[in-house]
Amino acid sequence: MTSFFILTMSLFYKYILTFITITLPIAAAFGQSDFTALLKKNLGNYNPQYIEAKIESTTVSEHLYPKVLISEESYTLTHNAISYYDAISSLPVETKTAMLKAHSEIAFAAEKSGLSTFPDEVLWLPFAISAFDKDFEQDGNCGFWGLQYLYAIKYGVEITECTDGRHDIMQSSKAAIRQLQYFHEKFEKWDISLAAYLFGPSNLKLMQVQGKQTSEIYTSLDPYGKNIFDIWCAVISWAENYRNCKIEVKAIEQQYDTIRISDRIHIEQISKVMGISLNELKSLNSTFHCEVIDGRHTAVTFKLPTGRKDDFARLHDSIVKYNDTIYFPPPKPPVEPKNYVVEGNGDKIIYTIQSGDYLGKIAQKFGVKVSDIQAWNGLSGTNITAGKTLVIWTGKKSASNTQTTQSKSTTNTTKPATQSNTSASTTATFNAKDYTLVETYTVKSGDNPYNIAKRYSWATADEILKWNNISDPSKLQIGQKLKIYKKK
């Protein structure tokens, strides 16, 4: 009886394990087609900046290496990683050739940065993190290497209001490799080091305290992060087939003219007037993440094709004036709101509360304080109801005279004591050179300046509005980009 029971249970567990083995690849393989489609697209647009690479042959008989070595560490490919390997292997020859050339440029950047002894396997990471997209951006991770802002600044990447060196393969490779090297010295395993690099060491330690294994840490992350280590292993396994492939690399001599721009100019104005293609200008200035070059506060360095510096100086006025009202339309006069009535000589306003209003929004609209609105209307809290009205005093009205005002007739036009309610934050000018651009935030459904400000311990709602030249917070649109700065 005991032997029969043991045999039955053995068959049962064998069935369960077979079921898991069959079904797991199907569930885990989600996203591989999206990844290879992006890889194919990005490598199709790949234009090496620093090297010319010539490959002798890419016609090798590819086969799966089920285990890969990163340095001396051995990692077995999971079912998910194998599914990505199969997808990479099915890419067309021209895409694979571009992968090998792009890897050669990363290796060239590492060598020029004094990091040539770093493990070659790590140099395949940009294909796993961003599908080799220089414009990649996800949760603050940016560029080829998905480099975080603080890591980039730490290792000297140039980031200004107009430029972001994380989009440059030379600058980003230098910073990313050094940060990864630091984490590997700290955590001693590449899978854990990559998790710390992508999601921050504090988040990693929190998950470890919760008792999560490394594999659980990755699978518990969002769709962006959960597959990255598996993709990395898959790329390394695929690249092992080409380890002995001969690639001749020749450095491209960097030839361009450098100019300093002290105006506000759209890149298309330069292109149209000077007859230089946009692609060529963007290729020369690959770290620019905006099309407007604003050097009015601090002159901006910009690159032109060799021999065009004098042409720019000669055509400067024509460039600035070319379709200037189209590229930089004058501000439209404010539209008079229809939801309030002005009484007396303009100091007293009867405001009808609209759906979506809150006291901070109304206070911003009229340049008064929330506490004043509460005092003028006898409000003990911040709850307001659409359709109700509020009394708002502008100009020379202060909350200290609230009780006197409320006791007087609405026909009394005597003005209370003078006190300015205009906050310092709305009158202070914003000088970008005193700040560092931390990131660009995309407005989501339900957002307002006050809940956005809660994301950044150093920022207030008024500052975010000022940084983005927004006078009316009710005009925020879903999908709108907001620049978030931090005082230097």
Query: What's the pLDDT at 462?
Result: 80
CATH domain 340-422 topology: Membrane-bound Lytic Murein Transglycosylase D; Chain A (3.10.350)
Model pLDDT, residue 309: 95
Superfamily name with CATH number, domain 429-487: LysM domain (3.10.350.10)
Q: Per residue in 396-442, pLDDT tens? A: 444 444 444 444 433 343 333 333 333 333 334 677 778 888 888 88
SS (H, E, C) the chain: CHHHHHHHHHHHHHHHHHHHHHHHHHHHCCCHHHHHHHHHHHHHCCCCCCEEEEECCCCCCCCCCCEEEECCEEEECCHHHHHHHHHHHCCCHHHHHHHHHHHHHHHHHHHHCCCCCCCHHHHHHHHHHCCCCCCCEECCEECCCCECHHHHHHCCCCECCCEEHHHCHHHHHHHHHHHHHHHHHHHCCHHHHHHHHHHCHHHHHHHHHCCCCHHHHHHCCCHHHHCHHHHHHHHHHHHHHHCCCCEEEEECCCCCEEEEECCEEEHHHHHHHHCCCHHHHHHHCCCECCCEEECCCCCEEEEECCCCHHHHHHHHHHHHHCCHHHHCCCCCCCCCCCCEEEECCCCEEEEECCCCCCHHHHHHHHCCCHHHHHHHCCCCCCCCCCCCEEEEECCCCCHHHHHHHHHCCCCCCCCCCCCCCCCHHHHCCCCHHHEEEEEEEECCCCCCHHHHHCCCCCCCHHHHHHHCCCCCHHHCCCCCEEEEEEEC
Predicted pLDDT of residue 425: 37
pLDDT of amino acid 422 = 35
pLDDT given at position 6: 40
* Chunked mean pLDDT (size 10), the chain, 488 residues: 41 38 34 91 90 82 94 93 96 94 94 87 96 88 92 91 89 95 93 89 80 74 77 96 90 89 94 94 87 89 94 96 92 66 74 87 85 84 86 64 42 36 44 83 80 80 83 75 86
Rounded to two decimals, the pTM is: 0.59
Which fold does the domain 31-251 belong to in CATH? Answer: Lysozyme (1.10.530)
